[in-house]
């Protein structure tokens, strides 16, 4: 009767509310990460400077003193926190898109690795979720392997942000940091380098699968110097989550972007995603498009203290071929036509 109808309606409302809450939590989790990526470093620096000018200046002074003492920690493997990597917020972050990690081969814990991550995308969302959190089960899929996602060294000069990044196992993408992890931190380490970097981000746009790799050989030389195996990684869907204004080569916009890239280390992109309250408006939230990160077969690399250019070129060509084969093998499984070709620039 009427009572059962009311109860049924209340049950429907309850499940609808639960679904809405899940969706809102997903949006909040992604929004906090986007704001972290864009403004956390500058915001924390300004707040710290402000506190120095207030009655609470002692707190800021103590933090700055500790910062000086702790300055080199990012170069020595950082200070990861399994508690932070296992936060529930990262599972909501994962489910927003959703993001998946696909394992194709086992990795030996007696070896060290350099993962080449492609493509960069606007913010490297797949790289962060898969390797700086446990949301997609990286530790279960690759037991005994410690992943270190490498990012701009300048981020580790920012107060608070540096500690937040280190807690996820993120390290500076410079020679000192990589040398330490691959030579003084035992075995079972995997450094994830987004090889294309800022240059690649300038060309990412939905529907385009291209990587900046032809002249990127420094990571191969590092692998040879340490005898670390190379692992190609491709993230299907990374370029789909934001729309970007692409400036043509020779235009004033591209000139400005390259100047920023050369002098600061990153290239400013004009991009947009969806709005906070509606997918039909523009905003900073990425579009909820699936991102599937496929970890390929490791390439065995010999240890050569001073590799010649010929040796670097040889293993670089093997790596490029392996990446293309990985892309071709899995492209149709993740929504791309068989005719799709990976463009290597």
DSSP 164-187: HHHHTTEEESSHHHHHHHHHSS-S
Better-predicted residue by pLDDT, 223 or 250: 223
Confidence of residue 250 (pLDDT cuts 50, 70, 90): confident
Average pLDDT, the chain: 91
Task: State the average pLDDT over residues 31-60.
Answer: 94
DSSP structural state of residue 286 = P
Picking from 91, 100, 79, 92, the residue whose alpha carbon sits closest to that of residue 146 is 79
Lowest pLDDT segment from 140-154, 240-254, 277-291, 301-315: 240-254
Give me the mean pLDDT over the 151-178 stretch.
Answer: 94
Listed range (201-205, 224-228, 330-334, 335-339) with the worst mean pLDDT: 201-205
pLDDT of 4? 54
Q: Please state the rounded mean pLDDT for residues 248-260.
A: 78
**Residue range 169-221, pLDDT digits in tens:** 999 999 999 999 999 989 999 999 999 988 888 888 899 999 999 999 999 99
Question: What average pLDDT does this structure show over 287-301?
Answer: 97
Dump pLDDT digits (tens) for 113-132: 999 999 999 999 999 999 99
Query: What average pLDDT does the segment 259-271 reach?
Result: 74
Q: What is the mean pLDDT of residues 88-92?
A: 96
Residue 216's Cα: distance from chain center in Å?
A: 18
d(CA 177, CA 175) in angstroms, rounded, equals 6
Mean pLDDT of 220-235: 98
CB 79 within 8 A of CB 177: no
Residue that has been written with the tokens 């920012």 in this structure: 158
- Phi and psi at 40, nearest 5°, equal -60, -45
CB neighbours of residue 147 within 10 Å: 22
pLDDT at 6 over 70: no
Tokens of 138: 């990286």
Report strand pairing: 291-295 vs 343-344. unpaired
Question: With the CA atoms of 302, 307, 310 and 315 taken in that order, what torsion angle do they form, in degrees rounded to the nearest 10?
Answer: 30
């Amino acid at each position: 009767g009427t009572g059962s109808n009311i109860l049924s309606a209340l049950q429907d409302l309850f499940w609808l509310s639960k679904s809405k809450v899940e969706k809102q939590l997903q949006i909040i989790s992604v929004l906090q990460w986007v704001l972290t990526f864009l403004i956390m470093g500058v915001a924390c620096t300004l707040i710290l400077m402000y506190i120095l000018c207030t009655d609470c200046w002692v707190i800021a002074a103590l933090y700055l003193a500790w910062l000086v003492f702790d300055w080199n920690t990012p170069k020595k493997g950082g200070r990861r926190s399994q508690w932070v990597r296992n936060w529930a917020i990262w599972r909501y972050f994962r489910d927003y898109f959703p993001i998946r990690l696909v394992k194709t081969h086992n990795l030996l814990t007696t070896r060290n690795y350099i993962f080449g991550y492609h493509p960069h995308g606007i913010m490297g969302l797949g790289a962060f979720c898969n390797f700086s959190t446990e949301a997609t089960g990286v530790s279960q899929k690759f037991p005994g392997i410690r992943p270190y996602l490498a990012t701009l060294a300048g981020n580790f000069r920012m107060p608070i942000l540096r500690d937040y990044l280190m807690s996820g196992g993120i390290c500076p993408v410079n020679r000192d940091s990589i040398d330490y992890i691959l030579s003084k931190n035992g075995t079972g380490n995997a450094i994830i380098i987004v090889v294309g970097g800022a240059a690649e981000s300038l060309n990412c746009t939905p529907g385009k699968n291209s990587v900046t790799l032809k002249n990127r050989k420094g990571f191969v030389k590092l692998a040879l110097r340490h005898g670390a195996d190379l692992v190609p990684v491709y993230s299907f869907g990374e370029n789909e989550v934001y729309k970007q204004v692409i400036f043509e080569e020779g235009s004033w916009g591209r000139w400005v972007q390259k100047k920023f890239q050369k002098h600061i280390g990153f290239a400013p992109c004009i991009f947009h995603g969806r709005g906070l309250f509606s997918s039909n408006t523009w905003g900073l939230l990425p579009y909820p498009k699936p991102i599937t990160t496929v970890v390929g077969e490791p390439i065995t690399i010999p240890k050569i203290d001073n590799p010649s250019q010929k040796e670097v070129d040889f293993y670089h060509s093997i790596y490029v071929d392996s990446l293309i084969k990985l892309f071709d093998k899995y492209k149709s499984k993740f929504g791309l036509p068989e005719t799709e070709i990976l463009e290597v620039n």
